[in-house]
Structure 1
Amino acid sequence: MKTLRIAAALALAFSLHVQAAEPVPQERPVGQAERVFVFTGAMPTGVSVSETGRIFVNFPQWGDDVPFGVGEIRDGRVVAYPSAAANRDFSSVQSVVADGQGKLWVLDTAAPGFAAPKAGGPKLVAVDLKTDKVAQTVVFPSNVILPTTYVNDVRFDFRTGTAYVTDSSLSGPGAIIVLDLASGAALRRLSGHASTSADPAFAPIVEGENMKVRNADGSTQAFTVASDGIALSADGATLYYSPLSSRHLYSVPTRLLRDPAVSEQQLAAAVKDLGEKGASDGLEADADGAVYASDYEHNSIRKRAPDGSWSTLASDGRLLWPDTLSIGPDGYLYFTANQLHRQAGFHGGKDLREKAYGLFRVKINAKPAPTR
């Protein structure tokens, strides 16, 4: 009997060994996301590729050791851009955008750690890419900056001399800020509108966990961030945007945004809800009429064709929180993956991020939307 029990145990062990050796089905990656750079220091948010292929990145003041807010990737490393001295004039940089016209624009929130923006601090700074010198500074007027404002991302249209900026407030109304680059005058549009506000029913699931603010004392708060991603159509006629705390894509005619004679009621009536696209941080548009969106719940990059249909360009377990998007002259869509959801503020004070952070790209065979 003992011999039989031993034989049975050996047979079971052998069976378990064979089962363990069998391949386990896994989720298939979609597309080919190529990692082109790794960041071993501070967490990046924005990336922008110039018309000549230069790659710029930025690092906000969110608690990491940030030696400089804006950098250029050169010879396998990130160097302060345009210089270490110039970076001392930046308070907390949320995004950088190469405008296709020879300049890199730096969006300074003047709100380190999401504090109230410093008076007269939020600004756009243009750097001439030929001379690597600051060429223009436009300070946002006080009529568009609230104590809760957090300027997040920007798109340019030099046919009208306009910059469109999202206010992605965490605690106040979101909005689209329309800035005249020549005069510095600005309008605050769709402030507090449903399309620029966090969706109250939104409950993101990232890496299998309901993402919310989790404080060290055990208290929690909903994850509520207003209008964030922004993209401008190739003809400059349509602005696309999305709250970070939402899965919906919205659009509005830019001629109405720019016209102060158009009332907020009239403007709101012109907003289109284009349906669900996934939960996005970054948006971008190409020259052929497509719109691209990150999907941070599914480690993915998605594409909206001109006919309104969606497809997934890349889905990969390495794409932990795909953030800002930028189309380069080489036909690639570049984006950062920065593990934003693993920050300490979402995990009771414990930082779960794992270095390095990544810069990725995926081939789209399209050019960036023109700005002129």
Structure 2
Amino acid sequence: MKHPHLCAVALLALSAFAPALPQAADARGVEVVARMNGPMPTGITVATGGRIFVNYPQWGDRPAWAVAELKDGKFVPYPDAATNRFDPAHPGATFSSVQSVVVDGAGRLWVLDTGAPGFGAPIPGAAKLVAIDLASGKIVRTIPVTAPALLKTTYLNDVRFDLRQGKAGVAYITDSSISGPGGIIVVDLASGKATRRLSGHVSTSPDPDFRATIEGRTLMNRPAPGTEPSAWNVASDGIAISPDGETLYYCALTSRHFYSVPTRLLRDHSVSEAELEAHVTDLGLKGPSDGLSEDTRGYIYAGDFEKNEINRFDPASGRWTTLAQDDRILWPDTLSISDGWLYFTANQLYRQAGFNEGKDLRQQPYEVLRLRVGAEPVLLK
């Protein structure tokens, strides 16, 4: 296989809009920010000024730490090595399996700990949101995510914040379960109370008819040679929020559909599930994507892991635009905007052994890439 780092950016020709496809080309160069060997990263977040943080879930690579910061060209554990060594005796004070990291508008890095290594049932006390003050590097808040919002099948995936709501703000978390219902978990940051919304709704559920084709092969569970392939189903995953905080966007990983819902209804406990579901909007089809991101102009960004693309959605027109197509964009996992750039991890997730008859086809190093978009992040504070 040709080495992906030697492939040039492909500039796409202008095309007519179709609901299921990007509308037009506005391609820019994709730059390599960092390369890494060892465990596969998923999440990335970039603070104003350029501090870059990534995370590594416990999916079998046995990462030495869960959260890292890029310093002097190397990724080092953050906030320290001790916090990154999971201690079953202290599940609330150490990281178990981190799926996402997000910088908020108050100078904090939030760590979303699934508490569920290997997609197993969450370890009691391990599923949590952890806030770290970026100035001091000290943990300033730990919020356990517990039942009934947290199910035995829950896999906390990604999170967005609106610090203007209530006394201390609110967090919206996707549950991307692979064996149970998906959903949106709403956490009041002052009280720590978590509420489960849209649990098992079609908008938070995988599409049973979804099949992705990557590098000429249908993406399915293929754990060992000779085993019958099975559908890979992953519920609500990508999440983004509008600049005014009034709309939440989200999608299941194994689906081409894209949805939105008013945040005021998610937060209002008096709103029934039936009423909430009636206000979910299906925004049409998109390329299959993992994470989402947003900017202050109202645009939503998503990768397309079939076509090695980065695309942008305009809520005003309902249209998608392709910003870049590049052979190095090997499964764009998580996206983060900072200082005019869109950063994202390219982690080759589909080349893991479980999709390839037990053979790990990933080619290290993994990469952190970025694309100039001239936009700023949504920081609701």
Cα distance change of structure 1 residues 27 and 45 upon mapping to structure 2, 3 Å threshold: closer
**Correspondence 1:268 to 2:277:** yes
Q: Which among 34, 37, 42 is matched to residue 40 of structure 1?
A: 37
CA-CA distance at 1:65 after TM superposition = 3.0
For 1:97 and 1:366, how far apart are their aligned partners in 2? 17
For 1:51 and 1:177, how far apart are their aligned partners in 2? 27
For 2:290 and 2:370, how far apart are their aligned partners in 1? 16
Q: Which runs of 5+ in 2 are unaligned?
A: 1-7, 12-26, 86-93
CA-CA distance at 1:361 after TM superposition = 0.4
Q: Which runs of 5+ in 1 are unaligned?
A: 1-25
Q: Which amino acid is 1:335 matched to?
A: F
CA-CA distance at 1:220 after TM superposition = 1.9
**Correspondence 1:225 to 2:230:** no
Task: Please tell me whether the aligned partners of residues 172 and 186 of structure 2 are also in contact (alpha carbons under 8 angstroms).
Answer: yes
Q: Which amino acid is 2:43 matched to?
A: G
Q: Which among 113, 132, 154 is matched to residue 137 of structure 2?
A: 132
Q: How does 1:13-24 map to 2 (within 5 A)?
A: none
Q: How does 1:1-372 map to 2 (within 5 A)?
A: 28-29=10-11, 30-88=27-85, 89-160=94-165, 161-216=169-224, 217-307=226-316, 308-328=318-338, 330-372=339-381
CA-CA distance at 1:292 after TM superposition = 0.5
Task: Please tell me whether the aligned partners of residues 229 and 281 of structure 1 are also in contact (alpha carbons under 8 angstroms).
Answer: yes
Aligned length, in residue pairs:
346
CA-CA distance at 1:206 after TM superposition = 1.2
Q: Which amino acid is 2:319 matched to?
A: S
Task: Give SS of 1:86's match.
Answer: coil
Report sequence identity in percent: 58
Higher helix share: 1
For 1:180 and 1:261, how far apart are their aligned partners in 2? 15
Q: Which amino acid is 1:126 matched to?
A: A
For 2:99 and 2:158, how far apart are their aligned partners in 1? 7
Q: Which amino acid is 2:146 matched to?
A: P
CA-CA distance at 1:91 after TM superposition = 0.4
CA-CA distance at 1:27 after TM superposition = 9.2
Q: Which amino acid is 1:65 matched to?
A: R
For 1:122 and 1:141, how far apart are their aligned partners in 2? 7
CA-CA distance at 1:186 after TM superposition = 1.1
Task: Please tell me whether the aligned partners of residues 50 and 100 of structure 1 are also in contact (alpha carbons under 8 angstroms).
Answer: no
The CA RMSD measured in Å over matched residues stands at 1.2
Cα distance change of structure 1 residues 184 and 27 upon mapping to structure 2, 3 Å threshold: closer
CA-CA distance at 1:141 after TM superposition = 2.2
Residues 257-294 of structure 1: CA deviation (Å, up to 9, x unaligned):
00011000000000000011210101011001111011
Which deviates further from its counterpart, 270-279 or 216-225? 216-225
Q: Which amino acid is 2:201 matched to?
A: H
Residues 280-333 of structure 1: CA deviation (Å, up to 9, x unaligned):
1010110011110111111111001242221011111111000100001x2000
For 1:280 and 1:137, how far apart are their aligned partners in 2? 30
Residues 178-221 of structure 1: CA deviation (Å, up to 9, x unaligned):
00011011110000000000001111111111000012151221
For 1:336 and 1:351, how far apart are their aligned partners in 2? 19
Query: Highest Rg: 1 or 2?
Result: 1
For 2:223 and 2:294, how far apart are their aligned partners in 1? 37
Task: Give SS of 1:97's match.
Answer: strand
CA-CA distance at 1:345 after TM superposition = 0.3
Displaced runs of 4+ in structure 1, greater than 2 A?
Answer: 26-31
For 1:306 and 1:368, how far apart are their aligned partners in 2? 16
Task: Give SS of 1:126's match.
Answer: strand
Higher relative contact order (CA 8 A, sep 6+): 2
CA-CA distance at 1:112 after TM superposition = 0.6
